[in-house]
Structure formats: structure tokens, C-alpha cells
Structure 1
Amino acid sequence: MEDTFKINNSIKNLQAIFNDNADETKAGFVKSYLKSPYKFYGVNIPLIDKTAREFTKANIGLQGHQVIELSKQLWDSQYHEEKTLALRLLRYFNIKDIELYERLLIESKGWDHVDDISIYLVGALIIESNEYLDYLRKWSISENFWIRRASLISQILPFRKGLGDRALFYSFADKMIEEKEFFIRKAIGWTLRELSKIYPEEVYNYLIKVKDKASGLTLREGSKRLPEKYKFL
């Protein structure tokens, strides 16, 4: 009962911050840009991030199950920004729950939430252990293209640290390289671009291998950070 009261009170306080900073004009613009089915307050990402950080700092004693319950209730909101806030809280409280993150991915309706979950929540788990890569293997063959996108980009943070499984990513990219879906093409190119910062020759060789099958978007994104000697477009 006490947990429920604390969570409900926390949600009201967080919603009050968003209501106080609501912008109807911005709400309409962002809803259109993100093509989201949800309602919008019209608050910006810096405010959402600041709200999440300040809440985390002020409630450092919250237990994991309390953070998860609070985040679930925010995620179930009809407001897009409350869902975004839920993901930030899970991130800043360092919650480790791959089953929860898989559920959130399945329920996501747009790239911003898919990317937040994949890169910052799933990615943080992969940095700790490659055992989570089994989820990426499962996701890579999902019929849901958002889930397939997650399988491609969830290793971006590990790759930046020289971790992760590059061969696994390339195997996913090989299977999806001829897909027509924009968000898959973009995800392959984006991840290649990140890899090219550390492994430029490897990425160059891969792009040359697939250049007759890959989309122009994938090739442009993937080669964007290659050194001049590897430029081929």
C-alpha cells in the first residue's frame, strides 16, 4: 500500500512538471514528426532528461522493483513523453531486466523509443555480459521490423568500447541488407558508421562486399566516417 501511494504521488509530481511546461504548438509539431499515435505535452528532451536525473538523485533509495513499477505505469500512459521518461528512469536507476526491455520493444510504436531501449538499456546489459546476445539472435528474425532494428543497433554502445560481437552484427546485416524498410537500412548504416570509427578497414571491406545489394542510404551512412583513403562513393 505504501509503495502504491509513493508511486502514485511520484507520477502526479512528474506529470505536474510536464503540465507546467506544456506547449500545444510544439506538441502538434513533434507528434507529426515522430508519427506517434500518442498524446503530447510538447515538452523537450532536455526537460525530460533533467526531470529524470533530478528524480533519480532525489530518490536514490528506491528499490529496483519500485523503479520498475513506476516506469511501467509511466510507460502505460497515453502521453509519449511519459513513456520517454519511463525509459530514462530505467536507465538512470541502472535497472537490469532484459525481459522487461523486450516487452517494451514489442510495445514500442516508433524509432525514438526503440532506439532508447536498444542502445541505452539493452546495450548497457551487453557491455556487462555477452549472454544477452542470444536475445539479439531471436530479435533478428522477428516479423516486427522494429525488433529487427533493435537487433542491429543494440551493440552500438558496446562497439564504442571495443566490446560486443561484430561477427554477429555482420551476420544480421547480411540477412537484412536487401530489405526495403527505411529503418532497417538506416540501422545497418548507422551501426557500420559507429564501427568505422574503430575498424575502418573492416567496414570498408564489408561495404565493398555488399555495395551491389545495399541501399544507397546504407552505403552513405556506413561510409560517412571512413578515412579519406577508404572513400568509395
Structure 2
Amino acid sequence: MPEKTSPAVAAIENELRGLGDPEVAAFLARFFKTGPGEYGEGDRFLGIRVPVLRKLARKHQSLDLSDCHELLVSPYHEARLLALLILVLAYDRGDEERRAAIYRLYLDHLAYVNNWDLVDCSAEHIVGRHLENADKTILSELARSRSVWERRIAIMATFRYVKAGSFEETLRIADMLLQDPHDLIHKAVGWMLREVGKRDRAAAEAFLRPRYRRMPRTMLRYAIERYPEELRQRYLRGEVESGSEAAAGASS
């Protein structure tokens, strides 16, 4: 970890070291694909489970943003995750000015939000929430990024809106990412489409029917996971009519 740190960060880093487990660290390094050429290449782990980090985040939820910044740029995955968990808690408790500062800190350090768990624990709670009643152009920019993590942030930020019963932004970003090459995007988009379907199957199917044959298989499987088995199998076999096919059949 960085040598020049504030006393608060130094104390937290010592706490993290004391909680680390080499066996857990080795497992996490494999689980998060840190080998050469893998998506988490080079990341380093101390070996601390997420529930422990969540408890630690609650303990340090009043940490200064400058100290959160120090943790966020750590080479250790758990320090970055802890920073993000603290920022999520701080955003929830903050006033407008503090929330804006947290949002800007997050966007300025996207390079450190660099694995799927880091994205998924933070994107909806900081980016999604901050943009709830604001211009969402940044989500389109993130969806077009060369970084898989920024593209995942774009779709995962919209989970906030899905939970509130608003699907337009999720479906718009999903359409942009429909043929993304990375399986972590296939899974994230499919997951969000599944969440839409849990709340409004008609809205999800209106999106799926014209597009599902062009979708990566993993994305489709995630999207239709909760559908009735017969319908799910029809989608997998490509037998569900698209909206245009259904309309043509009705008019003939």
C-alpha cells in the first residue's frame, strides 16, 4: 500500500492487513481472474470477505473524502472495495454538495473501479442515483467506452431506475450494448433485462422479441431465466416471433 498516507488511512490499512487471510487471497485472485490476459490481470488481494468489509465500511463511514481517495487508488482490491462501500454510505447520508463531490470523485477515478464487484456495489448507488433527475448523457458515453468496466457501469447504474419501475434508460443502454464482445457485459445486460421482466414482462418482451436472435447466448439466457419453461425454450430455439413478424401475421 502507499507509503505516504494520512493517519486515518494508515490505521485502516493496518486493520485490513490484520484481517487478511492468504488462503482466501489466493482463492479471490483466481475467482476474479487475475492471471495474465484475464480481465482482472495484476490485481492484488489481502484475503478479506465482503461481509467483513461491509462491517468495516459502517465503522468508517464518516471518513474524509480525501482519505477515501487514498483507499480508492490502492493496489489492493479490498481497499478499493472498502473505499467504494464507504462512498456509497457517505452519498446516502450527504447533502447536495457532498453528493456532487462523491460523484465527481467516482467519475475521476473510474480506472480504479476495475472489476465487476467494484462496479456492482457502487454504480447504481452513486452514478445512477446522482443522475436520477439529471441529464444522463454520461451513461451513453460510458456505454461507448473501450473499458469493459465503464460499459458495465453504464448498464448497472440503471438498476436504480429499474427498482423504481422506470425501464426506458435500462433498455436504451441495453440496446447500445446488445452486441458487446465481452461476456461480463452479456451477463450484466441480461441481468438487467431479467430485472425488467420481473417487474413488467410485457416491457421486457417488447424489447427482446425484435432483438433476441441477435443477442449473445449468455445475455439471452440471463434475460429469460425466470420465464415459464416452455416460453424460455422457444426463445432458445429461436421460435418466438419478433414484433414485426407478429404484426405481419395479424395483417395477412
- TM-score normalised by structure 1 residue count: 0.83
Cα pair 2:139 2:173 within 8 Å, conserved: no
Q: Distance in 2 between matches of 1:228 and 1:219?
A: 14
Match of 1:153 in 2: 156
2:111: which partner in 1? 106
Q: Identity, % of aligned pairs? A: 24
Q: How far apart are residue 230 of structure 1 and its match?
A: 5.3
- Work out whether residues 148 and 184 of structure 1, in 8 Å CA contact, stay in contact via their aligned partners in 2: yes
Give 3-state SS (helix, strand or coil) of 1:197's partner: helix
Gaps of 5+ in 1: 1-6
**CA separation in 1, counterparts of 2:156 and 2:17?**
33
Structure 1 residues 106 and 228: alpha-carbon distance in aligned structure 2, compared to 1, 3 A threshold:
same
Pairwise CA distance, 1:227: 5.4
Residue 210, structure 1, aligned to residue 214, structure 2: no
Q: Deviations over 1:111-159 (max 9, x none)?
A: 12222231222122234x2x15121122122222221221112110221
Q: Secondary structure at the match of 1:13?
A: helix
| Structure 2: gaps of 5 or more residues | 35-39, 92-97, 237-252
Equivalent residue in structure 1 for 2:45, among 40, 53, 64: 40
1:93 corresponds to which residue? Answer: 90
**Contact 1:204–1:230 under 8 Å retained in 2:** no
How many residue pairs get aligned? The number is 216
Provide the alpha-carbon RMSD of the alignment. Answer: 2.2
The structure in which a higher percent of residues are helix is: 1
- Return structure 1 stretches of 4+ with deviation > 4 angstroms: 227-230
Paired AA for residue 120 in structure 2: D
1:213-228 alignment, distance < 5 Å: 213-226=214-227
Q: CA deviation at 1:189?
A: 0.3
Q: Is residue 85 of structure 2 the alignment partner of residue 82 of structure 1?
A: no
More displaced 10-residue stretch of structure 1: 134-143 or 81-90: 134-143
Larger radius of gyration: 2
